[in-house]
Amino acid sequence: MVAVGSEAPHFELPANGGKTISSKDFAGKTVVLYFYPKDNTKGCTTEAQEFRDNIEAFTNAGAVILGVSRDSVKSHENFIAKQELPFDLISDKEETLCKAFDVIKEKNMYGKKILGIQRSTFVMNGDWQLVQEWRNVRVKGHVDKVLAHVQGEE
């Protein structure tokens, strides 16, 4: 499992807009990488909207937002269009990035045990070092905490 202060896992995965996004694309930039369970679900939509509504503040703080789920690129395209998201969503269908950040966890869904993404957010600095993490996140107030961190107010 990746630890704060260590180098974060590198990746190259498909994203919206026919792009392939690589961690190497962000050398010298602060990256907020947030993992969420599923496009177009209540909590995930609220979280995406809060990142969207604060994009100017994140950009002014020099941070790039990237969302990650196991949804397909097509699902991401629809989610972005519907919510007018100004940031990229990465498709991790094979769970390689999810596993690298250890966010695949057993969950209880209506009495059934399933494996799913535990809502989590990670901040990497320009040297791709993990500088902050939030695991098992509750949506309410979370984006504010992330923003405070990247603005140096935490």
Question: How far is residue 46 from each of residues 15, 30, 49, 51, 143, measured CA to CA in Å?
Answer: 20, 23, 5, 9, 10
Please calculate the CA angle 41-122-144 and round it to the nearest 5 degrees.
70
Instruction: Determine whether 98 is an active site residue.
Output: no
C-alpha span between 15 and 102 (Å, rounded): 20
Catalytic entry in 15, 31, 32, 44: 44
Q: Please provide the DSSP assignment of 79-122 as one string.
A: HHHHHT--SEEEE-TT-HHHHHTT-EEEEEETTEEEEEEPPEEE
Q: Using the structure block, give the residue that is written with the tokens 């969950």.
A: 107
Q: Which residues are catalytic?
A: 44
